[in-house]
Structure 1
Amino acid sequence: MTLLLLVIIYLAFISLGLPDSLLGAAWPVMQQDFAAPLETAGLLFMTIAGGTIVSSLVSGKVIKRFGTGRVSFISGLMTASALLGFYFAPSIIWLVVCAIPLGLGAGAVDAALNNYVALNYKAHHMSWLHSFWGVGATLGPIIMAQFIAGQHAWRSGYLTIAGIQFGLAAILLFSLPLWNRVSKNSNKALHENSEDIHNNSDHEDTKYVKPLQIKGVKLALLSFLFYCGVEATVGLWGSSFLVNVKELPASVAAQWVSFYWGGLTIGRFITGFVTFKMSNRMLIRTGQIIALVGAVLLLLPLPSILSLVGFIMVGLGLAPIFPCMLHETPIRFGKTHSQTIMGYQMAVAYTGSTFMPPLLGFIASYTTIGILPIFIAIYIAVMLLSSERLNTLLRKRVHISN
């Protein structure tokens, strides 16, 4: 039953990933249909991520009351209904309304499942779990591209994704009894897979301290802020950059952005195997450097095909960072505060998704979308510096404790 539960969790992350990359791929066409300014996509994206921030912050109470299984089902149902609302939406106002449940449906389940896997499974499971999120994020633009290539029917793309989401929600519904049975003996069933976490007892100096007062937590939150700033900004504005700067057709741009999400997905699958040989910290550092090189390729005045290489490199570089940082949470800060800190991390991560892409859209509306690579390079550089500073603090703490 434990293995079957893990499969259900993977399906839940496909459900989370499907809508995340959809708006960016469809926006060049949606913008024309609604005669909306460029930065409207930032408003919609901010509304979606804002709902996710709220649900992440209350995730602890929600999970405690309803259970992970029910929250996962309700999340999938809310997301599917919101996507169906996008299909029927007659105006931008309706899109904003539908964006609210789309965001609320993601936050609580995201924080709960991440903490569950961080506590009970080894690092490769976390990477593979997030590669399944990448499967959904990759399929979104691919499906949308098939509909906007000929007739600009972005609504049909949203309808198709909504149908898939309803199917995943049905699977989660029928799996509810499984969640209830497994939860009764999960500690015993998962003990063998959680040696690293259970053998790493909480640091005594963090047991009686508020989570935000633990040394390094704020740097970790800053890393999550700029990671999601990079990931979301590339996903939202990548197509617009390719259409307006590189002068590619909208359908081709959507396909190229799908390669970015594909790089993210394949990279996380590969990371799952690499974790047997490399530590989380080394994978985080290596990924940040690769992503920075990819951003530089986008920044330089090179042929369009190298922009595709840049997008793929950014995706590959970002791949190990998020799951490895999540898996490090109980190791960095102890089990006592891991769920609370995980919720904070998810909320701050979605804050990056909320404000950083619209910030770029606002500035681009007065300048040019060609500034995208500059912003991406800056975000990655700040993330790298924050991460390395955190590693220094952790090494000092280990040295002192010894």
Structure 2
Amino acid sequence: MATFLLIIIYLAFISLGLPDSLLGVAWPVMQSDLGAPLETAGLLFMTIAGGTIISSLASGRILKQFGTGSVTFFSTLMTAGALLGFYFAPSVTWLFICAIPLGLGAGAIDAGLNDYVATHYKAHHMSWLHSFWGVGATLGPVIMAQFISGQNSWSNGYLTIAGIQFLLVIILMFALPLWNKVTQKTNTTLNEELDDSNGELYNEYENVKPLQIKGVKFALLSFLFYCGVEATVGLWGSSYLVNIKDLPVAVAAQWVSFYYGGITIGRFITGFITFKISNRTLIRMGQMIAFAGALLLILPFPSTFSLVGFVLVGLGLAPIFPCMLHETPTRFGKKHSQTIMGYQMAIAYTGSTFMPPLLGFIASHSTIGIFPFCIVVFVAAMLLSSEKLNNV
């Protein structure tokens, strides 16, 4: 029963990833069809991520009142309806209206499922959970690219993704009774291990406010720049390839899908590596690989090297987010881990909200050619924050 529910959770995380990469790969065509300026994509992205921040901060209260299963079901239904709205959108204004429920639904799904898996399943499932987000984020550009290259229709791409989401809504509806049954039967070995391994840490921070704990602020900075990198590459990578590398829109969309593919495959492999290598080592290795990929985007090599750079950035980012999440109770003690986890998710979404639009604003007044330089700066800042955290 627990295994079957885990499969349902993985499917829900696929649905979470599907919309995340659509706007960036479709925007070169959407911008032309809607007659919108370049930076509008950044504002839409900010609206979506803003809704995600709000629902993430409120998720604790909502989850306690309604339960993870019900919140996941209704949030997926909300995102499916929002994507259907994108299909019918007659103007940019309509896109902004639909972006609000899209973000609100995504935040509730993300916070609820991360907490549920961390509480009721083994550690390696966290990496695999986020690899299934990568499955959705990889499939999104592939599906959109097919409609752009075949029909030059971004709206039909959104319609197809909305249809997949509604199918997942039906599956989640029938799975609702499973949540309480699994919650009641799941053993608490993981929580006991955390209590035993962090007894001294627990006592040290017993009467300390979460933000006063050593290293928390560096952890928040790490999440800020991680999501800044991940979201910026996803949103502006296609525009960079089209406008600077002179690639066709459909080809650029496929290349961005390889970036998400790198994240997906990397996280699947990470789930096995966590048995042998510590979270902190995996985080450092991932950041170095991502930095190498970002440097490759800057160098004046043929466009094929840009593809390698995108894949390397994706592979490098793969272990960072799930490992940082799983490391939270180890670093800061179990008592404060849930509160700090909420702070980290909110800061992560803040990075997703403001960093991509910032690049879009600068690019609209200069050139999208600044894209790889910004990625290098973001990755370097993430690496520096993470190393400061390790040395606290």
The reply to whether TM is greater than 0.5 is yes
> Any residues of structure 2 matched to 1:193-272 within 5 Å, and which?
196-202=193-199, 203-272=202-271
- Equivalent in the alignment of 1:338: 337
SS at match of 1:48: helix
Cα distance in 1 between the residues matched to 2:304 and 2:138 = 20
Contact 1:291 1:315 in 2 (8 A): yes
Percent identity of paired positions between Structure 1 and Structure 2: 74
Cα distance in 2 between the residues matched to 1:155 and 1:278 = 44
Q: Identify the range of structure 1 (203-212 vs 291-300) with the bigger mean alpha-carbon deviation.
A: 203-212
Q: Which amino acid aligns with 1:384?
A: L
> Any residues of structure 2 matched to 1:168-187 within 5 Å, and which?
168-186=168-186
Cα distance in 2 between the residues matched to 1:329 and 1:109 = 20
Q: Which amino acid aligns with 2:212?
A: Q
SS at match of 1:149: helix
Q: Which amino acid aligns with 1:278?
A: I
- Equivalent in the alignment of 1:373: 372
By how many angstroms is 1:340 displaced? Answer: 1.5
Contact 2:228 2:352 in 1 (8 A): yes
Contact 2:76 2:109 in 1 (8 A): no
Cα distance in 2 between the residues matched to 1:366 and 1:156 = 32
By how many angstroms is 1:331 displaced? Answer: 1.2
Cα distance in 1 between the residues matched to 2:325 and 2:61 = 20
By how many angstroms is 1:106 displaced? Answer: 1.2
Cα distance in 2 between the residues matched to 1:18 and 1:33 = 22
Per-residue deviation, residues 374-402 of structure 1 (Å, max 9, x unmatched): 00000000000100110111xxxxxxxxx
Contact 2:263 2:316 in 1 (8 A): yes
Contact 1:24 1:239 in 2 (8 A): yes
- Equivalent in the alignment of 1:74: 74
Contact 2:68 2:116 in 1 (8 A): no
By how many angstroms is 1:350 displaced? Answer: 0.5
Per-residue deviation, residues 9-62 of structure 1 (Å, max 9, x unmatched): 111111110100010011000000001100000000000000000011111101
By how many angstroms is 1:197 displaced? Answer: 2.6
By how many angstroms is 1:119 displaced? Answer: 3.6
Per-residue deviation, residues 90-138 of structure 1 (Å, max 9, x unmatched): 0000000000000000112212221232344333211111000000000
- Equivalent in the alignment of 2:166: 166
Alignment of 1:105 onto 2:102: no
Per-residue deviation, residues 42-85 of structure 1 (Å, max 9, x unmatched): 00000000000001111110100010001100110000000000
Cα distance in 2 between the residues matched to 1:198 and 1:262 = 36
Q: Which amino acid aligns with 1:165?
A: Q
Cα distance in 2 between the residues matched to 1:332 and 1:10 = 27
Structure 1, unaligned stretches of length 5 or more?
394-402
Contact 1:123 1:324 in 2 (8 A): no
Cα distance in 1 between the residues matched to 2:388 and 2:324 = 14
Contact 2:72 2:112 in 1 (8 A): no
Q: Which amino acid aligns with 1:214?
A: I
- Equivalent in the alignment of 2:296: 297
Cα distance in 2 between the residues matched to 1:334 and 1:325 = 14
Q: Identify the range of structure 1 (213-222 vs 105-114) with the bigger mean alpha-carbon deviation.
A: 105-114
- Equivalent in the alignment of 1:19: 19
- Equivalent in the alignment of 1:360: 359
- Equivalent in the alignment of 2:125: 125
- Equivalent in the alignment of 1:136: 136
Cα distance in 2 between the residues matched to 1:359 and 1:162 = 29
Contact 1:60 1:340 in 2 (8 A): no
Contact 1:107 1:346 in 2 (8 A): no
TM-score norm. by structure 1 comes to: 0.95
Cα distance in 2 between the residues matched to 1:196 and 1:280 = 16
By how many angstroms is 1:155 displaced? Answer: 0.4
What is the count of residue pairs matched by the alignment? 390
By how many angstroms is 1:198 displaced? Answer: 4.2
- Equivalent in the alignment of 1:399: none
Cα distance in 1 between the residues matched to 2:73 and 2:118 = 21
Cα distance in 2 between the residues matched to 1:307 and 1:298 = 5
Contact 1:138 1:262 in 2 (8 A): yes
Q: Which amino acid aligns with 1:277?
A: K
- Equivalent in the alignment of 1:91: 91
SS at match of 1:161: helix
By how many angstroms is 1:363 displaced? Answer: 0.2
Cα distance in 2 between the residues matched to 1:205 and 1:194 = 19
Contact 1:9 1:113 in 2 (8 A): yes
Contact 2:16 2:109 in 1 (8 A): no
Contact 2:120 2:183 in 1 (8 A): no
Q: Which amino acid aligns with 1:321?
A: I
SS at match of 2:335: coil
Structure 2, unaligned stretches of length 5 or more?
none
Cα distance in 2 between the residues matched to 1:42 and 1:380 = 20
SS at match of 2:19: helix
- Equivalent in the alignment of 2:320: 321
SS at match of 1:337: helix
By how many angstroms is 1:170 displaced? Answer: 1.2
Cα distance in 2 between the residues matched to 1:183 and 1:333 = 25
